Amino acid sequence: MRIVHRINLDVPAGVEHQFRSLICHDRIQAAFDHDVVYGSGLHPALAPYILPCVGTATSFKRAGRLRLPRRPAFLRQQALARRLRRLQADVLLSWSGFARDAVSAAARNSATPLVYREGGGCWFEHSRDAAERFVGEIRGAICNTHASMRMLQLKWGFEGQARVCLGGIRPDVWAAVNASLSDPPVDRPTVPRIGVAARLASEKGVCLAIHALACLQADGVEASMDIAGNGPDRARLEALADTLGVRSRIVFLGHVSDMPAFYRSIDVLLHPALQEPLGNVTIEAQAFGVPVVATCVDGMAETIQSGETGTLVAAGQPYETYPRWGGTPSTMQSTQVYDPQGDCLKPAAFAHPRALADAVAEIVMDHPFQARLSTAASARAERLFSFERHVSDFIETIRLFVPGA
């Protein structure tokens, strides 16, 4: 069976690294032949891993040496359809590229079954007509959480085959976890260290984490914060930290290449995202025994067991008040999110920084409680987020959706 993967690979972020780990796995290589159609480029941090594992890797925006314009749209549609026919593709697998007419039209025109891998794409706002055309073409949907599956069904009316292939922690991360077990104990600072790891964009709620640190400081709780990641809001967030008087307690690390070292250096991960289908950083942190405080929204209720591996904080603040806390408009922000408690959609909202601060303080100020959360977090991560299980689910699901191909 030959799979043509349609995925953007111009940045080395969570989905892209997940794809890289999956496609390079021995069992995936043995099960399928692979080709990749990417967007603007193939990032140099990803290319050395991906290129040896695929037959071809070409840009969606090119036909040979010719760059194809965005308009008229049929040029890219036809080029992709021709590529699918030429490769004799059995499956076109779209990674979070929801409601893309070029993908659905190419699948239809080449008679190639379209499988959609949902990991966040259907949260965003799309043309209703394009979404209907795309949903009508999907042979099956692979969803990284139950929340992803329900978002696809509730927001866009998908009624076809859908299976949850719960995200797995990448093998390189597990190798670092196992290596850390034999490392000598790390001299931890007496001041609790809060970690934040996210793209510095408004939907990730990093401004709320900074406000939470200010709340802790006002309460007399000594704590520092390391923020891993870059993004469009970095300057604004640094200015906010200055305004709140906590800049000296925060280190903006920018891009962090050694995330295992980051996880080993923190006492708790704070992830106050306004939307989050899965949250790779939350499951990776737990694998290292780091308790997580996060918003109770979307897939967070599946990845964090509140009171056992961390704390989930209710998103009870209306989105229209978000700018008061430093939130900014973002094209990545969804107007609706999934409510895991009511199994329904609800308007986007956010957790109050006071509640986030209280949840963090409860963990870092109670060392026996923190130790219990740490032990349970690493055990649960190993049990639920095995990459071998993820690979098995992926292979089984593709064969279910496209039998006999």
Q: According to the model, what pLDDT value does residue 182 have?
A: 72
For residue 372, what are its two tokens?
A: 């219990």
pLDDT, tens digit (0-9, with 9 covering 90-100), for 36-53: 999 989 999 999 999 999
Cα radius of gyration rounded to whole Å, the chain:
21
Predicted confidence at residue 8, as pLDDT, reads 95
Which stretches of the chain drop beneath a pLDDT of 70?
Answer: 183-189, 405
Query: What topology is assigned to 188-384 in CATH?
Result: Rossmann fold (3.40.50)
DSSP 302: H
Burial of 236 (0-12, 13-18, 19+ CB in 10 A): middle
Q: Which fold has domain 2-168+387-401?
A: Rossmann fold (3.40.50)
- List of residues 6+ apart from 22 with CB closer than 8 A: 28, 390, 391, 394
Strand pairing report for 161-164 and 66-67: unpaired
Spatial contact of 21 and 46, defined as CB atoms under 8 Å apart = no
* pLDDT in the model for residue 219: 97
- What pTM was computed for the model? 0.94
Cα-based distances in Å from 311 to 13, 237, 373 = 25, 24, 10
DSSP 323: G
pLDDT computed for residue 275 by the predictor: 97
pLDDT value at residue 239:
98
**Residue given tokens 């990284």 in the structure block:** 144
Helix (H, G, I), strand (E, B) or coil at 290: coil
User: Where in the sequence of the chain do the CATH 3.40.50.2000 domains occur?
Assistant: 2-168+387-401, 188-384
Q: What is d(CA 71, CA 77) in angstroms, rounded to the nearest whole number?
A: 11
